[in-house]
Structure 1
Amino acid sequence: MTTIGIIGAGHIGGQVARKAVELGYNVVISNSRGPETLAGLVAELGPRARAATPAEAAAAGDFAVVTVPLKSIADVPLEPLAGKIVLDTNNYYWERDGHFPALDAGEATTSGLLQEHLPQSKVAKAFNHIMYSDITTDGTPAGTPNRRALATASDFPEAVELVTRLYDEFGFDTVNVGPLSESWRVERDRPAYVARQNAAELTGNLAKAPRTI
C-alpha cells in the first residue's frame, strides 16, 4: 500500500491525512515540534497513520506532501526526498513569512522556490487554493456535473499524473497550469484562489490572473 509522507501537520496537512487514510493510504505525518505532539491526531487517524520527524516522514513516503510556511522551506529535508515527487501546498503570506523580493517582483513562485531547495525532487503544486475544510467535504465522484476542479503545476509530467490521480481519488477534477513558472496563476489573491469552480471556470480564472498583485 502506498505511503504518503506529510511534512507539516497544520490545517492542510491534517485534512490531507484524514482523506488519505479514508482512501486506504498509509500516512507518516510530522511537524516541527516533535512526534509526541501529534498523538491526538494519530489516534484520530487510526492504524494507518503514525507520527515521525520530518526526515522520517520524508524517508517513509512513496511521495510527500510539504505543507509548511514558506519561511520554513529551508528546513525541509533534502536527502530523503531525492528522486521523489513532492506536493507543495504553499502560499506566500508576507505578513507571516516576511518579504521575498523575487516573489514581490513576480520573478519567482512559491513552488519554484521549493523546487530550487529540492533539486533532486519533482515538485508539483497541489491543494493550495482550496479551504482546508473543503478537502474532506467537497469532493464528488468522477463525472458528477459541475464537479469541483483543482489546479496543479510541475516541470515533471509524472508529478502531474500523480496529482491528477490523487485529486480524482479525493473527488476533484484537475486543471494543469503547466510548468512551475506558471504556478503563480493559482496563488494567493488571484481569481482562482479558494473559489469553488469547475474545470472550465478554473481554466478561465487561470487565464485572467494578473502576474503581480
Structure 2
Amino acid sequence: MKIGIIGAGYIGKTLVQKLSAAGHDVKVANSRGPDTIEADVLAQGGRAVLAAEAVVDVDVVILSVPLGRIPGVAPLLAHVPSATVVIDTSNYYPHRDGKIDAIEAGQVESLWVAEQLGRPIVKAWNSIGSDSFAKKGKPAGTPDRIALAVAADRQADRKVGMALVEETGFDALDAGTLAESWRQQPGSPCYCTDLTRAELPAALATAEAARLPKRRDLALAVIQERLSDSKKNPDAEYGVRLSRALFM
C-alpha cells in the first residue's frame, strides 16, 4: 500500500519504521519540515516529505499528531478522495490539547475528530504506549501477543486498519463503530495495559464512560509526581503497571 503519515513523534516514528519494514511505500511529514525528520525514522525505507505531499496519491493517511492539532490538519485532507482510509492515533489530554467543550460534555473523541475532518476515520494504535509499541510487537500466532482495538464506521476502512495493525506486530480486535470507541480512550481498562486477544474483549466490555476522565487525570498526576520526585524516569514497564492498577 501507499501510506502517508502526518506526525513523526513517538507513535508516528514507529509507524514509519514498522510499515516500511512490512513492505509498504511510506511517506512521512511533520510540522517542521522534512529536513528535521531523523535518519532512524527513515531507516527502513520511509521518505520524508512536506505535509501537503504526504496525503497525495496514497491509499491510507495516518494522523499521528496531538488531538488538539487535528483542526489544523483538516485542510490537508480537503481534496483527499473519499475512498482513502484515514486512521487517527490521537487521544484527548486537556493539559496538552486545551479543553474541548464537546469532549468535556461527553462526545466520543473519535467522533469529534471525524467531525473536524469532515470524513470517516479509523481509530487505531491509540491504546498502546509508545515504548510497548516500539518494542513489543511479535509475529502472528505468538500466544502472548498484545492486542489492539480498532474502530471504524465503514467496514472496509476497519478491515484495512486491522490489517495494518497486524503488520506492526499486534493482534487486531474489531472494536465496532466510532460511537463505541470511547472504550479504548485514556482511562479505560484496555488503555496502555498491554492485554492479549483473550483478555481485550472483557476489558472493552467493562469500561465505564463516566470514570474515564477521572482515571486518565489521576494517572497523569501520578506520573508527573513520580517524575518530579525521582532523579530518573520510571522504567518502561511502569506505565503499564500503573495503567493496570488504575484502569482495570
Provide the TM-score with structure 2 as the length reference.
0.79
Deviation at 1:128, TM superposition (A): 0.5
5 Å matches for 1:1-213?
2-38=1-37, 40-41=38-39, 44-46=41-43, 48-76=45-73, 77-83=76-82, 84-106=84-106, 108-120=107-119, 122-212=120-210, 213=213
Q: 1:44 to 1:125 in 2, by over 3 A?
A: closer
Deviation at 1:166, TM superposition (A): 1.1
Runs of 4+ in 1 over 6 A off after TM superposition: none
In 2, distance between residues paired with 1:117 and 1:156? 18
- SS of the equivalent of 2:198 reads helix
Larger Rg: 2
Q: 1:126 to 1:27 in 2, by over 3 A?
A: same
Provide the TM-score with structure 1 as the length reference.
0.91
CA deviation vs aligned residue, 1:38-66 (integer Å, no higher than 9, x gap): 2x23x652473221222210114220110
What percent of counterpart residues are identical? 39
Aligned residue pair count: 208
Higher RCO (C-alpha under 8 Å, 6+ residues apart): 1
RMSD (CA atoms) = 1.7
Q: 1:202 to 1:8 in 2, by over 3 A?
A: same
In 2, distance between residues paired with 1:50 and 1:140? 25
In 1, distance between residues paired with 2:33 and 2:170? 32
CA deviation vs aligned residue, 1:58-110 (integer Å, no higher than 9, x gap): 1142201101111111121122433111110010000000111221222x222
In 2, distance between residues paired with 1:16 and 1:72? 19
8 Å CA contact 2:140, 2:166 repeated in 1: yes
Structure 1 stretches lacking a partner, 5+ long: none
Letter in 2 for 1:136: A
Letter in 1 for 2:3: I
- SS of the equivalent of 2:135 reads coil
Letter in 2 for 1:85: V
Letter in 1 for 2:25: N
CA deviation vs aligned residue, 1:17-54 (integer Å, no higher than 9, x gap): 0111111112111111122212x23x652473221222
- SS of the equivalent of 2:28 reads strand
Deviation at 1:172, TM superposition (A): 1.5
Point out the structure with the larger helix share.
2
Deviation at 1:131, TM superposition (A): 1.3
CA deviation vs aligned residue, 1:167-201 (integer Å, no higher than 9, x gap): 22222112222111111110111111001101221
In 1, distance between residues paired with 2:34 and 2:130? 22
Structure 2 stretches lacking a partner, 5+ long: 214-248
